[in-house]
């Protein structure tokens, strides 16, 4: 009986598969994204397909065979400049067997996968072409720039920031991460043609410009254009750039279009351990949201946020993150309404020893028509960036990293030290905090008008500066 039933079920599956193969999918459009080290082609399909990809050399080509597909678009609108692609051709080998040939000026390593429909897109076939020789002349921009180290231009808008200044006066490095990008548009705006990914990149670039204008600071963009970077690669890039702080820029969305206001997220080591474990297991299976595992929907925004935060948790220094987050939030609150007045904490455990303090800034609700318009305006982007920079600067003035220009200023009595603050994280006691800042427990108590040594997670403590001044 059981064998019979299984056989029948198997027969039904075959019939369904045959039906799917018979109804060929249309390739409705093709989109192209260029990243610093790869080119992504996305074929938009009317239904699922089977495919295979192989390379040919002399001349270099990539062949993509798509079975169960017909071409219902043209390739001539693709912007191929600055990519190793010199042309895209196609042939219908059988009524439902499409072959696409990509002509190349340099060899590439292809990687391909399919994606199931999400809110914005239907079925897709993604082909990533990784450069084998980054910086090869074939893929340099038309004008031959930036292959050799650049001499400083006469009067550059943003002064070129050079890496470590000798004598322990290095720049503090802020990694600025523009959320989403490329195939991942982020949240949708009611303003036509506006996506979260565009807003985040515009704000990130403005933030970089303002940070670079501050002596002793340098900003590094994690994403420099409209392309996708997997979550883990983002923190990896920040680490490689020697970041002292990681700031991820996003814009919020909610089903209720009236929702408004900015928020700042940091990590928490409170919260459900089992939830963390479940998320971790999921994340392991997923490998990345849309980086290649496929069949992962971007619909669940909370999941996206959770993913970013979970990845940050690999490196985050919790207390510093809360501290810098609170400062950024309070300055943002002067120029834009806040969604929540405190730094929000996601309930994930800090999984590794503290490394780079990290915050995630939701600059406003892009789903709110009024805020969407504001977020798109240059003046509001500048004001938002200014408030973030002010918070970041304040944090580093109070906590200058060793070897930095700010630390040098402080050690030479040239930095007006404001009151230092500490945001309590889980597991910390008043005695522990006093010890860390080398202040007397009684001084810490009186500076905060505490009647007992009971402190709460998230509470901001003033750290008296007296003891430090004695140190040479
Ligand atoms: Zn986002």
pLDDT digits (tens, 9 = 90+) for 185-231: 888 888 888 899 999 999 999 999 999 999 999 999 999 999 988 77
For the chain, count helices (H), then strands (E). 12, 17
CA of 260 to the centre of ligand 1 (A): 15
Chain length of the chain: 472
Give the mean model confidence (pLDDT) for residues 461-469.
Answer: 63
CA of 180 to the centre of ligand 1 (A): 6
Indicate the average pLDDT of the chain.
77
> Going by CATH, does the domain composed of 25-134 fall within 2.60.40.3500?
yes
Question: For residue 465, what pLDDT band results from cuts at 50, 70 and 90?
Answer: low
CA of 278 to the centre of ligand 1 (A): 22
Q: Where in the chain is the domain with CATH 3.10.350.10?
A: 419-470
CA of 48 to the centre of ligand 1 (A): 28
Q: Is the pLDDT of residue 379 over 60?
A: yes
Question: For residue 20, what pLDDT band results from cuts at 50, 70 and 90?
Answer: very low
CA of 226 to the centre of ligand 1 (A): 14
Question: In Å, what is the CA distance from 101 to each residue of 50, 55, 87?
Answer: 16, 10, 8
Give the mean model confidence (pLDDT) for residues 68-81.
Answer: 89
- What is 419-470's CATH topology? Membrane-bound Lytic Murein Transglycosylase D; Chain A (3.10.350)
CA of 175 to the centre of ligand 1 (A): 17
CA of 187 to the centre of ligand 1 (A): 6
Q: Is the pLDDT of residue 470 over 70?
A: no
Question: In Å, what is the CA distance from 138 to each residue of 84, 105, 106, 328, 351?
Answer: 6, 6, 7, 43, 43
CA of 200 to the centre of ligand 1 (A): 8
CA of 179 to the centre of ligand 1 (A): 5
CA of 214 to the centre of ligand 1 (A): 27
Q: For 161-253, where are the E strands, in sequence order?
A: 172-178, 217-221, 245-252
In terms of Cα–Cα distance, which of 88, 111, 123 is closest to 40? 111
Q: Where in the chain is the domain with CATH 2.60.40.3500?
A: 25-134
Q: Which class would CATH give 172-398?
A: alpha beta
> 443: buried, middle or exposed (CB in 10 Å: 19+, 13-18, 0-12)?
middle
Question: For residue 93, what pLDDT band results from cuts at 50, 70 and 90?
Answer: confident
Q: Is the pLDDT of residue 319 over 80?
A: no
Most confident listed range (135-139, 272-276, 450-454): 450-454
CA of 40 to the centre of ligand 1 (A): 21
Q: Is the pLDDT of residue 369 over 90?
A: yes
CB atoms under 10 Å from CB of 182, counted, come to 20
Using a pLDDT cut of 70, give the percent of the chain over it.
Answer: 72
**Contact by Cβ (8 Å): 63, 49:** no
Give the mean model confidence (pLDDT) for residues 234-250.
Answer: 88
Give the mean model confidence (pLDDT) for residues 343-367.
Answer: 67
CA of 290 to the centre of ligand 1 (A): 14
CA of 250 to the centre of ligand 1 (A): 4
- Looking at per-residue pLDDT, the higher value among 187 and 159 belongs to 187
Give the mean model confidence (pLDDT) for residues 297-318.
Answer: 51
Interatomic CA distance for residues 287 and 315, integer angstroms: 18
pLDDT digit string (tens) for 112-122?
Answer: 888 888 767 88
The predicted structure's pLDDT at residue 43: 93
Q: Where in the chain is the domain with CATH 3.40.630.40?
A: 172-398
CA of 21 to the centre of ligand 1 (A): 37
Question: For residue 151, what pLDDT band results from cuts at 50, 70 and 90?
Answer: very low
The predicted structure's pLDDT at residue 27: 93
Ion ligand 1, residue ranges at CB < 5 A: 179, 186, 250
CA of 256 to the centre of ligand 1 (A): 17
CA of 234 to the centre of ligand 1 (A): 14
CA of 244 to the centre of ligand 1 (A): 22
CA of 68 to the centre of ligand 1 (A): 35
The predicted structure's pLDDT at residue 322: 83
The predicted structure's pLDDT at residue 391: 96
The predicted structure's pLDDT at residue 15: 44
Strands across the sheet containing 123-131: 69-71, 25-34, 38-45, 123-131, 108-115
CA of 368 to the centre of ligand 1 (A): 15
CA of 351 to the centre of ligand 1 (A): 23
- Looking at per-residue pLDDT, the higher value among 363 and 286 belongs to 363
Q: Is the pLDDT of residue 299 over 70?
A: no
């Amino acid at each position: 009986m059981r064998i019979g039933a299984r056989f029948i079920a198997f027969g039904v599956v075959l019939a369904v598969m045959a039906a799917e193969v018979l109804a060929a999918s249309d390739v409705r459009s093709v989109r192209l994204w260029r990243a610093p080290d790869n080119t992504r082609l996305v074929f938009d399909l009317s239904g699922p397909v089977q495919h295979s990809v192989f390379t040919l050399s002399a001349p270099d080509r990539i062949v993509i065979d798509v079975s169960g597909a017909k071409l219902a678009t043209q390739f001539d609108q693709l912007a191929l400049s600055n990519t190793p692609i010199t042309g895209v051709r196609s042939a219908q080998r059988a009524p439902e067997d499409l072959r696409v040939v990509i002509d190349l000026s340099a060899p590439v390593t292809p990687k391909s996968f399919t994606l199931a429909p999400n809110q914005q897109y239907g079925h897709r076939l993604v082909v990533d072409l990784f450069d084998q020789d980054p910086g090869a002349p074939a893929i340099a921009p038309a004008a031959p720039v930036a292959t050799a180290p650049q001499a400083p231009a006469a009067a550059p808008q943003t002064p070129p920031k050079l890496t470590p200044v000798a004598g322990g006066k290095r720049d503090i490095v802020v990694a600025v991460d523009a959320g989403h990008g490329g195939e991942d548009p982020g949240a949708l705006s009611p303003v036509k043609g506006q996506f979260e990914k565009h807003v985040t990149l515009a704000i990130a670039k403005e933030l970089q410009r303002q940070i670079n204008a501050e002596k002793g600071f340098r900003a590094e963009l994690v994403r420099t254009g409209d392309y996708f970077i997997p979550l883990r690669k983002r923190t990896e890039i920040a680490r490689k750039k020697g970041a002292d702080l990681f700031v991820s820029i996003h814009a919020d969305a909610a089903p209720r279009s009236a929702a408004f206001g900015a928020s700042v997220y940091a990590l928490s080591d409170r919260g459900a351990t089992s939830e963390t474990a479940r998320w971790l297991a999921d994340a392991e299976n997923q490998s990345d949201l849309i980086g290649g595992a496929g069949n992962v929907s971007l619909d669940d925004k909370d999941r996206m946020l959770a993913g970013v935060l979970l990845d940050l948790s690999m490196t985050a220094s919790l207390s510093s993150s809360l501290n810098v987050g609170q400062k950024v939030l309070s300055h943002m609150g002067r120029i834009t309404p806040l969604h929540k007045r405190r730094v929000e904490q996601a309930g994930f455990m800090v999984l590794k020893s503290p490394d780079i303090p990290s915050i995630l800034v939701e600059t406003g609700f892009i789903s709110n028509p009024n805020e969407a318009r504001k977020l798109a305006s240059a003046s509001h982007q500048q004001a938002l960036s200014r408030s973030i920079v002010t918070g970041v600067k304040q944090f580093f003035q109070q906590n200058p990293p060793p070897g930095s220009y700010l630390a040098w200023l402080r050690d030479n009595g040239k930095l007006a030290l404001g009151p230092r603050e500490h945001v309590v994280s889980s597991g910390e006691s008043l005695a522990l905090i006093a010890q860390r800042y080398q202040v007397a427990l009684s001084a810490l108590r009186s500076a905060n008008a505490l009647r007992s040594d009971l402190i709460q997670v998230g509470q901001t403590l003033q750290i008296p500066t007296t003891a430090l001044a004695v140190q040479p």
